[in-house]
Amino acid sequence: MSEDCVPYLAGGDAAPPRLIPVLQVPREELRRGVRDTLFALHQERLWHSNAVGVEGRLAQIAFWEAVLGWIMEQSGDTVNLVGRAR
């Protein structure tokens, strides 16, 4: 799939819209990967509870828990991850 502009414009002077990249990921695989990441972050937090950077680790855990919640809300077998339009 190419993102090259169409060499001609049918019916106007406006450039065609740029394509938005989309990655389709199997929902169950994504859920499992995020769950495993959360498990590892919680283990690190427990092993290094007095270490510097605990706040950063807690922020990471909160982020990935929110991502996992979003994944669980999605329906269907795949999740579409959409990139920025260029």
**15-69 pLDDT per residue, tens:** 667 778 889 999 999 999 999 999 999 998 888 777 677 788 889 999 999 999 9
Does residue 84 form part of some domain? no
Does residue 2 form part of some domain? no
Structural domain including 58 reads 27-74
pTM for the whole structure: 0.68
Q: Which long-range contacts (CB under 8 A, 24 or more apart) does 78-82 make?
A: 78/24, 78/25, 78/26, 78/27, 79/24, 79/25, 79/26, 79/27, 79/30, 80/22, 80/23, 80/24, 80/25, 81/22, 81/23, 81/24, 81/25, 82/20, 82/21, 82/22
Domain count, the chain: 1
Does residue 85 form part of some domain? no
Does residue 44 form part of some domain? yes
Greater confidence, 2 or 12? 12
Does residue 9 form part of some domain? no
Does residue 82 form part of some domain? no
